[in-house]
Structures are given as structure tokens and as C-alpha cells.
Structure 1
Amino acid sequence: MPPTDASIVSYWDAAAASFDEEADHGLRDPQVRSAWAERLRSWLPAAPADVLDLGCGTGSLSLLLAEQGHRPVGVDLSPLMVERARQKLVAAGFDAVMAVGDASDPSPQAGTSFDVVLSRHLLWTLPDPEAALRRWIGLLRPGGRLVLVEGRWATPDEPYAAGLPWMGGVGAEHLERVVRPLTRSVRVEPLPDPVLWGKPVHDERYVVVALA
């Protein structure tokens, strides 16, 4: 049975308080933070760009984007995650929009036209990830970029994941096949560097960068 929005919100609200303890979530380690900042620069156009950060969580990537001169808009289904993201951005002196909403189909209030749509480890949480990808690509300006940081994990431990089509993540070849017909070009970059994750990784980690 597919999960409900309420069950997903409940799960991620409960995780919000400890979410940033993971090295790649909180980016508290200077080396991890620097590694993500470098990758974002290589994937995104020159600043300033309007970036929709979907499934923004506690806002760590949105903060890096703002620090690099971009204009991030964060969307997440979890109110507690969004509140932490908002606090993080405000504490750093940025007035970015951090909104509660369905990342798979963002409200027009979040915006309808972006230079970049970014998500990290979000697709596996969605009931219809392929529909979400089509919707996201529709939000891109001509020449805009879709940046998907994804991976494939053997066993998901989230209690609601069994009802999801891409539970445990999605492999790079599969995701590339889905995205390629919808965009002008697609490239896949493996992300095995342990510095990004704060530990060695033995599963598939990668980014897909596609041009609209």
C-alpha cells in the first residue's frame, strides 16, 4: 500500500531534530562542506541563478547556494525540516524562501520558472517519481539544468518505503533512461568520494545533470 503524505510527514518531522548529525546532511565538517560546495559550483551555472531546492530538508544545500550568490527556494513536505532550514538561512543572513509543500509537485507559490531544479536523495521517497521528473523539467527555463543527486541502496530502513516504486533508491542507468527523452542532454557523474559522505560508501552514488 502506498504511503500517505501524513505518514511521510510524521517520519521526517521525527527525524528533523537529529537530521544534521549525518555528515552529508548537516555539512558541519569543513571538509565535507567544502566538497559539496565544490560539486555545486561544477554542476550549476554561474551565480546568480534561481534554484529550486526540492526536498530541501534542513537547508544545508540551500545555504551553500546562497553563500555562492544564488537565489535558492527550498521546498519540503516536513514543517519541522522547513523551520530548521529557515532558521539556518536567517542565522547566516539570508532571506531565502523555505516553504512547506509537496516537492513532487511544487505549488506555484514557490515559483514557476527556474534556472536550476536540484534534488538530493529525494526520488525514492516519491509515490510517482517519473511524473515528478516531468513536472520538474517543466519548471526549467530554456537551457536550465536538472541536477539530481541520487543513489541505489540495497535495503531501505524507512518504515514507509515498502510502498514506493523506487524504494532503496534508483540506479544511474535507470534514471538516465527516464530523463534522457525529456531533456536535450544528460551526463552522469559517479560520486564515490568518501569526503562527500563523511565515510566510505559501498553502494551507488552519483549525480545526473540534464539540460532542458
Structure 2
Amino acid sequence: MPEIHDWNQRYLEGNLPWDTGLPSTELQKAVMQHKLGPCRVLDIGCGTGTNSLWLAEQGFEVTGIDLAPLAIERAEQRARDAHSSATFAVVDILTAPLAAGPFDFFFDRGCYHAVRREAPHGYAPAVARLLAPGACGLILAGNANEPHDPGPPVVSEKQIREELGTEFEIIELHEFRFDPGPMREEPFLAWSCWVEKR
């Protein structure tokens, strides 16, 4: 996985194909479908905070974390501008402690598929330790059924079940397409994975 300064460089350069500036359509659908009510939420790999701000608007108590300090600076500024209750912190999900929590729900749009390249079995236990008993989560990840280059890292269904299944029960797993980014008209194929902590 790129080091912190590499992620920061992406934000300095504006090389952010994943940052649509709009809350994830798949997240909005899942919150409605699973009738998720306001609770404590962890937004993993929150970037500039778009999804965190949307969740806070819906009444959730949101903490967004990201490896890149510049992303968190921008998220905090957006929260101030919007008078949002969302809070943010620079955190490496695999190693750094997090004072907030435990969380009842987590959302991950793209952190898992990046982290697993270097630590495929480190992600699930790292996230699970921050969750309350019975917590649920939504993970959106690149889909290996449609290889592409460039594009987000991809993962197979088998890998998802093996790597996440150690800590989570996979309640629902289906294909969808990421919302199109600013530099791409044809959105990438992805996985939507709804999980519950074992």
C-alpha cells in the first residue's frame, strides 16, 4: 500500500478519480434497504468527507478516518463550512489507535481493496476491534470479474469471503458499479458487501 506521503501527493495533485463530490449511491440505497437508524458510524478511508457529511445529515454520529492528512484537513474544512457534526482523524486502520468508538456501523468505499494488497488478512480484525457487538458494515470494493488498468484495485468473491469471513458474517454480496468519477464516464464494476460482526 502506498505510504502516507504518496496518498497526500494524490490530494496535492488532484489525482482523485474516486472523489465524485457526491455521496455514494450504493451507501444511500443500503442505508434505506437495511433500515439503518442513527447510530455511531466509522467511515474508513473517508477522503474529503463526502459520505461522512451525508451520514451526519441523516442523524448519524460520524467519525471519518483517512491515512492522508491533507484529505482530513479538507474534510474538516468541509464540515466547518457545512456546520456538520461529523468529526475526522488521521488514522491508519491497521495500526493506529482510535479514541472514538465502539461503532455500530462502518462504511468503507475503497479502503479494503487498497489495504488488502499488502495485508489481506489484517483488515478484518483491525476493523472488528473498533466495533460494538452485533455491528454491521458496508464495504465497496473493486471487482476482479472485470479487470482494468488503470482503475481501483480488484478482489474476487472468493477472496472477500475468505478474508472478511474470519470476523464478519457476509449477509449480502452483489455486484454494482461505482458512481462515475470526474475523469471517467464508464463506471468500474464493484462489489457491495454488507456484513455483520460475528
**For 1:1-212, what aligned pairs fall within 5 Å after superposition?**
8-17=3-12, 18=14, 22=17, 25-28=19-22, 33=23, 35-36=25-26, 38-42=28-32, 46-109=36-99, 111-126=100-115, 127-152=118-143, 154=147, 168-192=153-177, 196-198=179-181, 199-201=185-187, 203-212=188-197
Letter in 1 for 2:56: A
CA drift at 1:58: 0.7
Number of residue pairs the alignment of both structures matches: 189
In structure 2, distance between residues paired with 1:66 and 1:197: 23
Query: Is the CA contact (8 Å cut-off) linking 1:151 and 1:169 kept in structure 2?
Result: yes
Report the identity percentage: 23
Rounded Cα–Cα distance in structure 1 between residues aligned with 2:136 and 2:159: 19
Determine the C-alpha separation between the residues in 2 that align with 1:72 and 1:168: 26
Q: Deviations over 1:157-178 (max 9, x none)?
A: 59xxxxxxxx932123311232
CA distance in structure 1 between the aligned counterparts of 2:15 and 2:76, rounded to whole angstroms: 15
For structure 2, the 5+ residue unaligned runs are: none
Q: Spell out, residue by residue over 1:109-142, the C-alpha distance to the aligned partner (whole angstroms, 9 max, x if none).
A: 2x24100122111123323132121121222212
Q: Is the 8 A contact 1:43 1:147 kept in 2?
A: no
Q: Pairwise CA RMSD of aligned residues?
A: 2.7
Indicate conservation of the 8 Å contact 2:124/2:166, yes or no: no
Question: C-alpha separation between the residues in 1 aligned to 2:63 and 2:53?
Answer: 10
SS at match of 2:94: coil
The runs of 5 or more residues in structure 1 that have no matched partner are 159-166
TM-score, normalization: structure 2? Answer: 0.81
How many Å separate the matches in 2 of 1:34 and 1:132?
A: 22
